[in-house]
Amino acid sequence: MKKILLSVFAVIAISLPSMAYDAASRVPAIGQQLLTKNGISATNVKFIVVSDTPNNSNFVSNKVINVSSAELAFAGNDNEVASVVASEIGHIICGHASKNKVISLLQTTSNTDITTPTAVETFASNYKTTKEDKEADLVAVNLMVTAGYNPLALIVVLTKQTGTYWDTIIGRPANADKALNVYDYISYVYPEKLKVGYGCNEYRTFLAYADNIIETRKDNKKLANNYNKIYKKAKKKTANSITKFKTRGGISGWDAVYGLLNAQ
């Protein structure tokens, strides 16, 4: 009888369509949710999944938000897709890709080489630098919370990725520094979200890594106060970035600078 039942279940399973989560297909709907719930105009905005590195420097003119298929490969549900999309929107809000356009225009008009190491440090032309990724991630947390998504999903997507050999040797999750940046920000701005938690092995593994670091900070009042100052400033900065982006009608500060320079 057991064999018969197993055979029946096997036939049913084969005949049913695949239930695998299709992250790419969820991008447009989740992207629209992130924009509208945050009061950002979604009119004529399109979300496109690309296989190469997303370039959203032309968002102001084409209203297209490119999302990386490589990043989406680590997203297993809507919260995790939202974290990928929100991070790209975060880069747009901060104007990271637009910095390169400003730098290029300044080079052309002034005939001055500003690509020396000092200038690179000053202007941070590559929006995929760690510093800019961290900034975009914190904006993404705000966007996700307002839109009703669990921001801890961003930590999960970051740590699901492939780490370095050094990460493996010392037992550190992939993108541990970025993930801890997100965790610290959520802890300061949205502590109630930490209580909700996130039920997966990747998040539990991250917590096992982060707990020791967090406990060390608690034992050092000066260090703890320093981190509170950092995220108090980050809270204000990210909120201002989103507000100014909305009041400008979907234009970052760097886009506004580029528009002024290009009009001259």
Q: What is the pLDDT of residues 11-29, one digit of tens each?
A: 333 333 446 899 999 999 9
Write out the DSSP string of 77-114.
Answer: SHHHHHHHHHHHHHHHHHTHHHHHHHHHHHHHHH----
Confidence of residue 6 (pLDDT cuts 50, 70, 90): very low
Helix 176-189 vs helix 201-218: angle between axes, to the nearest 10 degrees? 70
Q: Which helix (H) or strand (E) holds 66?
A: strand 64-68
pTM of the model: 0.85
Residue 34, pLDDT above cutoff 50: yes
Whether the CB-CB separation of 95 and 255 falls below 8 Å is answered with yes
Find how far residue 148's CA is from the centre of its chain: 16
What mean pLDDT, rounded, does the chain reach? 86
Find how far residue 188's CA is from the centre of its chain: 18
The secondary structure of 192-203, three-state, reads: HHHHHCCCCHHH
pLDDT tens, 199-217? 999 999 999 999 989 988 8
List, in sequence order, the alpha helices (H) in 16-58: 23-37
pLDDT tens, 80-117? 999 999 999 999 999 998 877 787 777 777 665 555 55
In the chain, where the domains are located: 2-263
Cα separations in angstroms, 33 against 45, 81, 252: 12, 12, 20
∠ CA 87-88-92, rounded to 5°: 115
- Identify any residues that bridge with 46 across adjacent strands, giving them in sequence order: 64
Which residue would you say has higher pLDDT here, 98 or 46? 46
- 26: tokens are 């969820």
